[in-house]
Structure 1
Amino acid sequence: MYFINPTKGRMDIDKMFEDIMEFVEGDRQSSYKLMVGTDSQPGKSVCFVTAVIIYREGKGARYYYRKFYNKKIPSLKQRIFMEATYSIEVANQLFERLNQTDKKDINIEIHLDVGENGKTRDIIKEVVNMVLGCGFEAQVKPSSYGASKVADKHTKSMANIG
């Protein structure tokens, strides 16, 4: 599994985590949020993009993404749950690494591509409870920009490649 940073290019999860920690060390006085969100776009196969964003509150952010393809998924509900599962998987790996540092106070949020308006409103409670049950905070639209803006940007341009 590798991630892409638009400035620094391709890196594995360990290198990405090192880069996140360098960003955090660059301003120790600031507060940080670590956000993970996944979006998908159906095409010939389903394009999934998981975005990881380290946000220095009020002072900018750095982000990384990974894209991968999966076979067609019959329902929107299944696709949303797969998005959440992929985000939780990455968040767990980052959580393990954070716990080995002195930055255990950095909060990890899972950004879900669901909202009160639209087709996903009926499954908000289920998918949010799944995330909460895994020990992470959940954000939904319009606050879930990690999934609905950052990851979404990279699924749209790449959906029909795979």
Structure 2
Amino acid sequence: MADSLLFYNLSEAQMTFQDVMERLKSFVRRDPRSAYVLSVGTDSQVFRDRTKFITAIHLHRTGKGAWGCLKNHELTRPIHSLREKISLETAFSQETAAYILDGHLIEITDLLLPFTGEGADLTFEVHLDIGKKGLTKELIQEMTSRITSMGIEAKIKPDSYTAFSYANRYTK
């Protein structure tokens, strides 16, 4: 991923994708005997003159905290089509997930392998801001298929917290 694609969180700004991967590995090294869920999700907010997207990377050490970061994307027009909006959210999440799959997921997994008999585990998911209630229910099959075709588990509401909760908090 180009270094111009910068991530941030409440502690740090201007993190490159490589910086993010180092932070994730450092977080895992602090407790390699834990189970982890690494998730990517995107949410968006339509404004009068633009549409703001936030893609989140979230690493949850199950029952013991989390580390996350965000990346902004912006279109200089409002998106009025729900299908286009959800499709772009999915595409931004797919892009980030693809970069993680490109060797980085294996690096994180390798940190946990010596401890699998002691509880270490890693699940990788993409969280979509769609669910069985509301207008997005018609998009579930299409969007989840895009994720599962990458070999990644797709989560929808109410289980897609990285998109509808973490990323959503920063789209306003």
Q: TM-score, normalised by structure 2?
A: 0.86
Is the Cα–Cα contact under 8 Å of residues 37 and 124 in structure 2 kept in the other structure? yes
User: What is the letter of the counterpart of residue 130 of structure 2?
Assistant: V
Provide closer, same or farther for how the CA distance between residues 47 and 107 of structure 1 changes in structure 2, counting only shifts above 3 A: same
Is the Cα–Cα contact under 8 Å of residues 43 and 89 in structure 2 kept in the other structure? yes
User: 1:132 aligned to 2:138?
Assistant: no
Counterpart in the other structure of 1:85: 91
Runs of 4 or more above 3 Å deviation = none
Q: CA deviation at 1:102?
A: 5.8
Alignment of 1:8-157 (within 5 A): 8-43=12-47, 44-70=49-75, 71-99=77-105, 101=107, 103=109, 106-156=122-172
Per-residue CA distance 1:114-134 (angstroms, 9 max, x = gap) = 011111011111111111112
- Comparing 46-55 and 8-17, the one that deviates more: 8-17
Which whole-Å CA distance do the structure 1 matches of 2:68 and 2:19 have between them? Answer: 13
User: What is the letter of the counterpart of residue 103 of structure 1?
Assistant: T
Q: CA deviation at 1:99?
A: 4.7
- Comparing 32-41 and 96-105, the one that deviates more: 96-105
Which whole-Å CA distance do the structure 1 matches of 2:45 and 2:89 have between them? Answer: 11
Greater helix share, structure number? 2
The partner residue of 1:5 within 9, 28, 41 is: 9
Alignment length (residue pairs): 156
Is the Cα–Cα contact under 8 Å of residues 28 and 108 in structure 2 kept in the other structure? no
SS in 2 for 1:11: coil
RMSD between superposed Cα atoms in Å:
1.4
Mark the runs of 5 or more structure 1 residues left unpaired by the alignment: 157-162
Is the Cα–Cα contact under 8 Å of residues 95 and 108 in structure 1 kept in the other structure? no
Q: CA deviation at 1:101?
A: 1.9
User: What is the letter of the counterpart of residue 90 of structure 1?
Assistant: T
User: Which structure's CA Rg is the greater one?
Assistant: 2
SS in 2 for 1:101: helix
